Every structure is written in structure tokens, then in C-alpha cells.
Amino acid sequence: MARYGMVMDVTSCLGCRACMAACSQWNQTPFWAEDFKGKWRTRVTELEEGKFPETHKVFFPTICMHCENPPCHSVCPTGATYINKDGIVLIDYDLCLGCGYCIEACPYDARYEYEKEDLEKDEFYFGEDARHHQVHVDKCTFCVDRLAEGIEPSCAATCVGHARIFGDLDDPNSEVAKLVNSGKAKPLSPYLGVHPKVYYIK
Ligand code: SF4
Ligand code: SF4
């Protein structure tokens, strides 16, 4: 049993969005959606910081925060949203009604609908290897299928800037645990009380 988490080092993110491409290819998420506000399990948003004329760009990566007290879980009427033994928040597609309560409940905007037209595109691009077969709500799984094979999530494996650091928060020797326990990496909006397991260095 582990307690998986991720640290996003915003100071190291180059804004290349290789993570978004790698995630969407591995997980067959709708890369065919029209813009970067579309249906992604991970996003990198470009922000401007500082006061004019001394402003600078910052690239801000986000995913599902795999909260320890996730509101998406408590509002789900069917038990489709569940937490596995390693603390990963997952969705059982067979139980998902697509009601969207969880999308509304998530304070981090981490979920989206995998719609009928997306299933058609998935089949068009991936043929018999298509991984999505029913309409459902979708989000990051920390690439749970890769973890089962002993390999890290696709976004972290692809990140050239080492801006995404993945590991077991309960292992004091892991890089994520060291960054979190030292106070260098902090959660976003802790006042929400959902206890995210994704932390940020800013
Ligand atoms: S970030 Fe949103 S979708 Fe992910 S566990 Fe937290 S509440 Fe649920
Ligand atoms: S859309 Fe699916 S996962 Fe979300 S609350 Fe409804 S049944 Fe649960």
C-alpha cells in the first residue's frame, strides 16, 4: 500500500505541454477537442505574474489532486467514484451515470464528460485499441494501469523539465515526501479542507 502524490515544480515548467500530449495519447483523452480549455486530464495554463512593466510568464500544470477528502466522492450517487488502496481517486465507468454531480463538486475543475462523439473519435483514431466504450465522466487516474506495471504516470515520465515529481508520500525517502515534509511544496487552496495530494513549488 502506498499514498501516491505529485509535486508540481512551477519554477521548472517550460510550458512545452509534452505532458498533455503524452497523457492524451496514453489515456486516449479527447485531444481532438478544440482548445486547451477542452477535455484534458492534465492542463498547463499560461499565466502572467508581477506588475507591469515587470511581468513574466508562468506555466501552471494541473491534474486531479487525488484529494483525501474528495467532494467528488461524497456526491456520487452510485459509488462510481471510489478511492483505491493507494489513495488514488478513480471512477468505475460501469457504474457512472454521467450525471455530472462530481464535475460540479470538484473545486479544482479536474473532471469532464467523455461524450458519445468522443467515443466515436476514440474508435476512429485507435480502432480496436480504443479504451473508452461508454459515455462517462473522466479525469486523471495517476495512470493507475502504468503503476500496476511499475512505471510512473505518463506526464511525469515525459516531463523534460522535471517539473512533475511523482511518488509515495508515505515513503520518507521519496523525493515527493522530502519536498512536502520540508514545507517546500504546498497544496493549493488548503482552506478548502479537501486535503489534495498534489503539491506545488512556486
Ligand atoms: S481534484 Fe476534484 S476530481 Fe480530483 S479528487 Fe479532488 S475533488 Fe475529486
Ligand atoms: S457522473 Fe458518474 S462519477 Fe460523477 S457523480 Fe455521477 S455517477 Fe458518480
Mean pLDDT by 10 residues, the chain (202 residues): 97 96 96 76 93 92 98 98 98 96 97 95 96 97 98 97 97 98 97 98 96
Q: Is the CB of 80 under 6 A from ligand 2?
A: yes
Q: What does the alpha-carbon distance between residue 33 and residue 40 come to, in Å, rounded to a whole number?
A: 9
Q: What does the alpha-carbon distance between residue 24 and residue 26 come to, in Å, rounded to a whole number?
A: 6
Q: Is the CB of 100 under 6 A from ligand 2?
A: yes
Listed in sequence order, the residues at least 6 apart from 182 whose beta carbon sits closer than 8 Å to its beta carbon are: none
Mutation to probe ligand 2, out of 96, 112, 135 (largest number of atoms < 8 A from CB): 96
10 CA from centroid of ligand 2 (Å): 31
96 CA from centroid of ligand 2 (Å): 5
pTM for the complete prediction? 0.94
